[in-house]
Amino acid sequence: MSLSEGAASRALRPQGPAGGEALHVAIIMDGNGRWAKQRGLPRAFGHRAGVAALRRTVEGAEALGVGRLTVFGFSTENWTRPQREVSEILGLMKAYFASDLGRLERGGVRVRIIGRRENLSSDLLAIVDEAEARTAKNEKFHLQVAFNYGGRADIADAARRFAREVEEGRARASDLDEQRFEAQLSTAPAPAPDLVIRTGCERRLSNFLLWECAYAELIFQDVYWPDYGPDHLREAILEFQSRERRFGQVAVDDVLAAG
């Protein structure tokens, strides 16, 4: 799709729906393995190229005026992959922060890792803690990395945390409503994503942000993640801007037509 001048400039300052808040884009970065296979390479090469795509996309998102980017890096189910591949992915996560943290910090990016901290090795935990601590005061751009993340696990953990409050007498079961529950999720207090992009030709959520995606626009881009970059992101944002979000209401035109 070629972009007209007008459409492109609209995409440069995308707005979320809630009164001028910056857009929150979430991405399921899928297709690394198939990208490598297509080239006759081991899957690890796809993951390495995927890190480069992440770097490009973070830079592109900032330049496009996106305020928050949440990327799915490793799911609770991905532990079932061959151990060698799991180690490769964990190693790349460490390498990414080792090489990019300084730049992210200087660039005003606030880094947050969402997902279960259990089962992460102590060196990975130290890197995650350092990334969050060093960027804690930044506000220009929010980068959330879902790592060892599963939507169901996160919902179960949130339920357990609330149940503990009840057990300890700090809350009553009748206090629980959507807002109170949401505050227990690992994504809290960040706003929900406005759009979720999945690359890699599949049409599913694969356990990503199940609660938070209730009203997100879903956009599927048939490109393997290692080939992704700012131009694809711009196209996704343009597609998002052409959608009408209704949140269960009727369209404004229909209300006017009905008198």
| DSSP H helices in the chain | 5-12, 32-38, 43-64, 83-106, 122-134, 151-167, 178-182, 230-242, 252-258
Q: How far is the CB of 44 from Mg ion (least distance, A)?
A: 14
CB atoms within 10 A of CB 172: 9
Task: Tell me if residue 217 falls in helix, strand or coil.
Answer: strand
78 is catalytic: yes
Dihedral sign computed on CA atoms, order 207, 209, 215, 218: negative
186 binds ligand IPE, rule: CB under 6 A: no
Interacting residues with ligand IPE between 16 and 35 (CB under 6 A): 28-34
Q: How far is the CB of 15 from Mg ion (least distance, A)?
A: 31
62 binds Mg ion, rule: CB under 5 A: no
Judged by beta carbon, residue 30 or residue 212, the one nearer Mg ion is 30
30 is catalytic: yes
Q: Which of 3, 42, 78, 157 binds ligand IPE (CB under 6 A)?
A: 78
Judged by beta carbon, residue 94 or residue 134, the one nearer ligand IPE is 94
Query: Could you tell me the two tokens for 201?
Result: 């030709």
Q: Which of 25, 28, 30, 191 binds Mg ion (CB under 5 A)?
A: 30
138 binds ligand IPE, rule: CB under 6 A: no
**String marking each residue 144-183 x if it binds ligand IPE according to CB under 6 A:** ----------------------------------------
Cα–Cα distance, 206 to 150 (Å, whole number): 8
Cα–Cα distance, 207 to 9 (Å, whole number): 34
Q: Is the peptide bond before 17 cis (omega within 30 degrees of 0)?
A: no
Cα–Cα distance, 103 to 114 (Å, whole number): 21
Task: Tell me if residue 201 falls in helix, strand or coil.
Answer: coil
Judged by beta carbon, residue 30 or residue 88, the one nearer Mg ion is 30
**Which range binds ligand IPE by CB under 6 A, 10-18, 98-106, 177-185, 202-210?**
202-210
Rule CB under 6 A: which residues touch ligand IPE? 28-34, 72-75, 78, 89, 200, 202, 204, 206, 225
Which residues participate in catalysis according to the annotation?
A: 30, 78
